[in-house]
Chain A
Amino acid sequence: MIELHDLTKRYGKTLAVDRLSFQVPQGVVTGFLGPNGAGKSTTMRMILDLDRPTNGRVTIDGRRYGQLSEPLKYIGALLEAKSVHPGRTARDHLLWLAQSNRIPTRRVDEVLALVGLTPVARKRARGFSLGMGQRLGIASALLGDPEIVMFDEPVNGLDPEGILWIRNLMKRLATEGRTVFVSSHLMSEMAVTADHLVVIGRGRLLADLPMPEFIRRNSRSAVRMRTPHPERLLDALAGAGIRPEPGPGGSYEVVDGDLARLGDLAAAHGVVLHELSPQQASLEEAFLQMTADSVEYHAGDGPGRDAAGAPGVWGAGWTADGTRQSAAARQEEN
């Protein structure tokens, strides 16, 4: 299990990662989500001991990465940048990597077959397409048959077929009982692959909760109502015990409202409606709003900051809840 404690990384003036603490749950796909520059790649490099934390620490199964003997057998990673010598063949790239961790040569051919690169195994990486390069990177991550795999934006720049392939691969790896930790800046991508979600913004933890929980909280629907006579509408709604929220453009939104009932209610009170429409916030929007708040929070004293000073709290303090929720869920598992 990967555990981060107060992990912090500063590059000159940039605080890339800011007191990040979370655990990557075992045996499931955990999505590591954040907008560009949120600190995902930096965090992953620190997990591999490539970048040294300014503060805090990371442990893998309780040990620092540098203390692992033959680390490829514990954790395999695909990093952001292409990291293959263009003049070396795919097979030779995997071969030196295997030899460094005393992985049998047989395994090289196995992973080549697994990612579908057998036909080009003896071709130099120079001629590889983006997708083939990505497959080679994934082959190196799987080389040591590790318990944990970590992918940094694996679907970036891939065609739909490649995306589907990686998606299925990650699910299969989790089914085999492996821990998959994958970063992305696309909520929609994570919604279909991840079982657990860790969201960061500006280097800070914004959410850490199971994916179903995130969906449940964020798939709340609302009914939007627009009228030239807002006072009358509000009175009518209040009379029925409904408290609407202000929506865009002077409209009102009733969370979890029933379309027919609200229409009937307006008619019964003779309120003219210019709009009566169902609204469904997408997960992508929920994610955008959450990270936008984190930007506001950092820019000054933005709204949604609770008494404990939890960063970038979204909506009704759900970050704090979410964190608690997942911690509780993990305790149940153990």
Chain B
Amino acid sequence: MTSFPAILRSEWTKIRSVRSTVWTLALTFVVTVGIGALLSLLTNNNFTEFRRSDQSPFDATGTSFSGIMLGELAIIVFGVLAIGNEYSTGMIRVTLAAVPQRGTLLTGKATVLGAMALVVSVVTAFVTFFLGQALLGSHATGLGEPHVLRAVFGAALYLTLLCLFSAGVTTMLHNQTLALGVLVPFFFLLSPILSAVPKVKTLAHYFPDYAGSRMLLVYEQHGQPYGPWTGFVICLAWTLAALVGGALVLKSRDA
């Protein structure tokens, strides 16, 4: 058997030695922090105007995470590229010749990918939160307030799980372009649209992104189907299913 730590080292070298993957991770940070900061600043400066017609309590945490939609896009692309570039370049054959234990290989890949995504996401989430709160001035909240710490960690977990979900889907599709073509429209068109359509939205509420984003909520929303922890479990289930599906495809297919 090929040693697991050796696979981890090798996969880590692979990811860090290609610019495109490193950049998408950096972009996740920049976009999430940047847009969050911008909207927090705008909200603070125009607070009375923005809040005039709104009856619900002001969610300072949510405001600082306004950029998460785009950060999510970047980390999804990271997950797709990290797996998909092996298929687009034909490198997967070299990889499988070096590590023929395909299940172990994918476990190693997911471990490295997940660890990198988690580290970047946690840093991103906390920087986003603190910078956002600083810019919200008197409207800011603190980590000690109810549910806030959970929401900040929730944001980090949300990004990490979506990254791994995308990696799993890419392994199943064994094609980088196809994976991007499926995942990006799904998360940015299909899922948001469907979760606004009556009737269909009950289904859309069980999609990985909607479920995962429940972890970010500090205040209970009107008509919310389930709480943050259920959301986490649903998102995790999707991620594991995608990775297991990817492993099954990888193990059964000719490379």
**Chain A residues packing against B (C-beta within 8 Å):** 45, 48-52, 65-66, 68-72, 77, 79, 81-89, 92, 95-97, 99-102, 140
Contact = CB atoms under 8 A, between A and B. Distances in A.
A77 B255 CA distance: 15
Interface in B65-104: 85-86, 89-101
Interface residues of B, number: 31
Contacts of A100: 2, 6-7, 9-10, 95, 98-99
Given A96-B17, A100-B99, A51 B255 contact: yes
Contacts of B138: none
B13 interface: yes
Given A84-B94, A89-B17, A97-B98, 15 more contacts: A48-B93, A48-B97, A49-B97, A51-B255, A71-B98, A72-B97, A82-B89, A83-B92, A92-B13, A95-B13, A96-B10, A96-B11, A99-B9, A99-B13, A100-B95
Nearest to B97: A48
Given A45-B255, A83-B94, A85-B85, A101 B19 contact: no
A51 B2 CA distance: 20
A63 B36 CA distance: 57
The list of the 8 closest CB pairs from A to B, nearest first, reads: A100-B10, A92-B17, A99-B10, A96-B13, A51-B254, A83-B90, A50-B255, A66-B100
A52 B96 CA distance: 13
B44 interface: no
Contact of B17 (A48, A88, A140): A88
B13 A66 contact: no
A68 B1 CA distance: 7
B20 interface: yes
B93 A79 contact: yes
14 contacts: A48-B96, A48-B100, A50-B96, A52-B254, A69-B1, A83-B89, A83-B94, A85-B91, A87-B20, A95-B13, A97-B10, A100-B6, A100-B95, A101-B6
A83 B100 contact: no
Contacts of A68: 100
A179 to B, nearest CB: 17
Contacts of A79: 93-94, 97
B54 to A, nearest CB: 47
B48 interface: no
A51 B97 CA distance: 11
A87 B21 CA distance: 10
A101 B99 CA distance: 8
A84 B97 contact: no
B3 interface: yes
B160 to A, nearest CB: 23
Nearest to B102: A66
Nearest to A11: B254
Contacts of A49: 96-97, 100
Contacts of A48: 93, 96-97, 100
A98 B10 CA distance: 8
B13 A101 contact: no
A302 B90 CA distance: 39
B7 A83 contact: no
A84 B89 contact: yes
A49 B9 CA distance: 23
B93 to A, nearest CB: 5
Interface of B: 1-3, 6-7, 9-11, 13-14, 17-20, 85-86, 89-101, 254-255
A133 to B, nearest CB: 12
B6 A102 contact: yes
A77 B86 CA distance: 17
B239 to A, nearest CB: 25
B79 to A, nearest CB: 17
A72 B10 CA distance: 14
Nearest to A140: B94
Nearest to B13: A96
Contacts of B9: 99-100
A123 to B, nearest CB: 13
Contacts of B85: 85
A293 to B, nearest CB: 30
A66 B104 CA distance: 12
Nearest to A78: B94
Nearest to B253: A52
Contacts of B93: 45, 48, 50, 79, 81, 83
B119 to A, nearest CB: 20
A50 B254 contact: yes
A70 B2 contact: yes
A97 B94 contact: yes
A88 B14 CA distance: 8
A66 B91 CA distance: 18
A145 B236 CA distance: 43
A250 to B, nearest CB: 51
A99 B11 CA distance: 9
B89 A86 contact: yes
Contacts of A101: 2, 6, 98
A50 B91 contact: no
B114 to A, nearest CB: 18
Contacts of A86: 89
